[in-house]
Amino acid sequence: MSGPNTEYDPVAVTPLQADQVEAMRDQALAAIAAAEDLKALAQARSEHVGDRSPLALANREIGALPPQARKEVGQRVGQARGAVAQALAARTEVLEAEHEERTLLAETVDVTLPTRRHPAGSRHPITTLSDRIADIFVAMGWEIAEGPQVEAEWLNFDALNLGPDHPARTMQDTFWLEPADSALVLRTHTSPVQARTMLTREPPIYVACPGRVYRTDEVDATHSPVFHQVEGLVIDEGITMAHLKGTLDHLTTALFGEGITTRFRPSYFPFTEPSAEMDMVCFVCRGVDPEQCRTCRGEGWIELGGCGVVNPRVLVACGVDPDRYTGFAFGFGIDRILMFRHTVEDLRDVFEGDVRFTSAFGVEI
Ligand code: PHE
């Protein structure tokens, strides 16, 4: 700071001369105007407005002036500083707005974009339905049993009272495995799991066996060489056909709702005696005015599969005492149930593995 002046001598305080103050102001204004972003503006602020800026220093000189000069110079410097402060505020506003706009643009989130590029698949509806059916049996206290898909001919046929020359063997068009004397087949039904269960467990037996089975059928809208069945087997003392009927009624009611019960039609299977085909009430028309019903095609009933009281010859073949125990068994197609339950028109859709088919069933665990 300069020493006190007794006389106002503008020459002694050159920085306070009008053209000098204007030059400082103009430099400051130019620097502010030239600042392209907030960082450059902060730089201009410290250079031209900060404590060590020319105008701040000039301001400090005023106190050293003789009193008569202070007013004029004070005004001059004050105006210059005011103009710079104003320009700084205006430029700050402009640059902040620009900055905000750029940030918003850069951080824009398109909430309509799909969140996952790789959608999770869904379980196959046959798996879900098999599990659901298995759950119904488990809730009744039954166990779930499984067997191999490549099965011994003896278990698939002989143990079930279908000897080598039994005419009923032709009822099930069989895939035989090579070599011819391997005595292995792709199981034609889930009934060999009955035989396996009786051979390995002591009664009482309450098991359900869902699984994949094979027959040499041509592929069309209602046939496939591979399909799915659920087998049920009960072996206990005093078991009758009535227990079978009650179990099936419970199952169809649990799957399709109140009032969907079953009926028997006389039939023949070598492993059950007596045997029956089982039908359930059509869950769409409920047997009322079935002529119009496209689901059961006028029948009022939907065929489920076969059942009966276990033939004593099967009990003997599988090591169960037929004088003490009786039992019932049934086997029905899961694919048919899926088709009815979800109006699947073409069985090929079930087996082709197109995710557009499975994903329509949603994610059900
Ligand atoms: N296994 C028979 C079939 O596939 C169905 C069935 C099972 C019949 C159990 C009676 C008892 O046709």
Index of the ligand 1 atom closest to the CA of residue 232: 9
Of 7, 8, 12, nearest to 72 by C-alpha is 8
Where are the strands (E) in 237-361, listed by range? Answer: 262-269, 272-281, 301-310, 326-333
Residues 338, 239, single domain; the answer is yes
Domain limits at 130?
125-361
Answer yes or no: is 177 within a domain. Answer: yes
**d(C-alpha 215, C-alpha 229), whole Å:** 12
Answer yes or no: is 151 within a domain. Answer: yes
Mean pLDDT value across the chain = 90
Residues 205, 349, single domain; the answer is yes
Q: What is the dihedral of CA 232, 233, 237, 238, to 10 degrees?
A: 50
The position carrying tokens 């276990």 is: 310
DSSP secondary structure string for all residues of 129-168: HHHHHHHHHHHTT-EE----SEEEHHHHTGGGT--TT-GG
Instruction: Convert the pLDDT of each residue in 112-137 to its tens digit.
Output: 887 777 777 788 999 999 999 999 99
Q: Is the pLDDT of residue 13 over 90?
A: no
The position carrying tokens 């099936």 is: 248
Answer yes or no: is 6 within a domain. Answer: no
Q: How many domains does the chain have?
A: 2
Q: CB neighbours of 168 closer than 8 A, spacing ≥ 6?
A: 162, 268, 269, 270
What pLDDT is stored for residue 69 in this prediction? 78
CA angle (122, 126, 130) in 5-degree steps: 115
* Pocket of ligand 1 from Cβ distances under 6 Å: 189, 191, 269, 272, 305-308, 329-331
What pLDDT is stored for residue 71 in this prediction? 84
As given in the structure block, the two tokens for residue 243 are 């227990």
User: How many angstroms is it from 244 CA to the middle of ligand 1?
Assistant: 13
As given in the structure block, the two tokens for residue 181 are 């004397």
Residue where one domain finishes, among candidates 77, 106, 135:
106
User: How many angstroms is it from 305 CA to the middle of ligand 1?
Assistant: 7
**d(C-alpha 237, C-alpha 250), whole Å:** 21
Residues 66, 129, single domain; the answer is no
User: How many angstroms is it from 306 CA to the middle of ligand 1?
Assistant: 5
Query: Once rounded to an integer, what is the mean pLDDT over residues 78-106?
Result: 92
Answer yes or no: is 38 within a domain. Answer: yes
Mutation test of ligand 1: which of 155, 191, 233, 315 has the most ligand atoms closer than 8 Å to its C-beta? 191
Residues 98, 146, single domain; the answer is no
What pLDDT is stored for residue 361 in this prediction? 83
Residues 95, 167, single domain; the answer is no
Distance of CA 171 to the CA centre of its chain: 41
Hey, CA dihedral for 279, 284, 288, 290, is it positive or negative? negative
> Quick check: 341 and 129 in contact, CB under 8 A?
yes
Query: Once rounded to an integer, what is the mean pLDDT over residues 75-88?
Result: 90
Residues 151, 270, single domain; the answer is yes
Q: Is the pLDDT of residue 62 over 90?
A: no
User: Residue 27 — left, alpha, or beta (φ > 0 → left; ψ -120 to 50 → alpha)?
Assistant: alpha
List the residue whose alpha carbon is closest to atom 12 of ligand 1.
306
Index of the ligand 1 atom closest to the CA of residue 160: 1
**d(C-alpha 336, C-alpha 328), whole Å:** 22
Q: Is the pLDDT of residue 11 over 60?
A: no
User: Residue 359 — left, alpha, or beta (φ > 0 → left; ψ -120 to 50 → alpha)?
Assistant: alpha
As given in the structure block, the two tokens for residue 50 are 């900060």
Q: Which helix (H) or strand (E) holds 208?
A: strand 205-214
Beta bridge partners of 332: 230, 305
- Residues comprising the chain, all counted: 365
Instruction: Convert the pLDDT of each residue in 22-34 to its tens digit.
Output: 889 999 999 999 9
Query: Residue 335 belongs to a domain with what CATH number?
Result: 3.30.930.10
Answer yes or no: is 256 within a domain. Answer: yes
What pLDDT is stored for residue 187 in this prediction? 97
Rounded to the nearest 5 percent, the helix, strand and coil shares of the chain are: 45, 20, 35
Distance of CA 170 to the CA centre of its chain: 44
> Quick check: 317 and 326 in contact, CB under 8 A?
no
Distance of CA 194 to the CA centre of its chain: 35
Residues 82, 134, single domain; the answer is no
Answer yes or no: is 113 within a domain. Answer: no
Answer yes or no: is 3 within a domain. Answer: no
Residues 99, 216, single domain; the answer is no
Q: Which helix (H) or strand (E) holds 185?
A: strand 184-186
Q: Is the pLDDT of residue 323 over 80?
A: yes
Amino acid at 95: L
Index of the ligand 1 atom closest to the CA of residue 330: 9
User: How many angstroms is it from 160 CA to the middle of ligand 1?
Assistant: 10
Mode of pairing for the β-strands spanning 326-333 and 226-236:
antiparallel
Query: Once rounded to an integer, what is the mean pLDDT over residues 49-53?
Result: 88
Instruction: Convert the pLDDT of each residue in 231-276 to its tens digit.
Output: 999 999 999 999 999 999 999 999 999 999 999 999 999 999 999 9
User: How many angstroms is it from 317 CA to the middle of ligand 1?
Assistant: 17
**d(C-alpha 258, C-alpha 209), whole Å:** 25
Instruction: Convert the pLDDT of each residue in 137-190 to its tens digit.
Output: 999 999 999 999 999 999 999 999 998 888 878 778 899 999 989 999 999 999
What pLDDT is stored for residue 364 in this prediction? 62
Mutation test of ligand 1: which of 243, 269, 303 has the most ligand atoms closer than 8 Å to its C-beta? 269
Mutation test of ligand 1: which of 170, 189, 279 has the most ligand atoms closer than 8 Å to its C-beta? 189
Answer yes or no: is 40 within a domain. Answer: yes
**Integer angstrom CA distances of residue 177 from 168, 184, 196:** 20, 5, 20
> Quick check: 206 and 239 in contact, CB under 8 A?
no
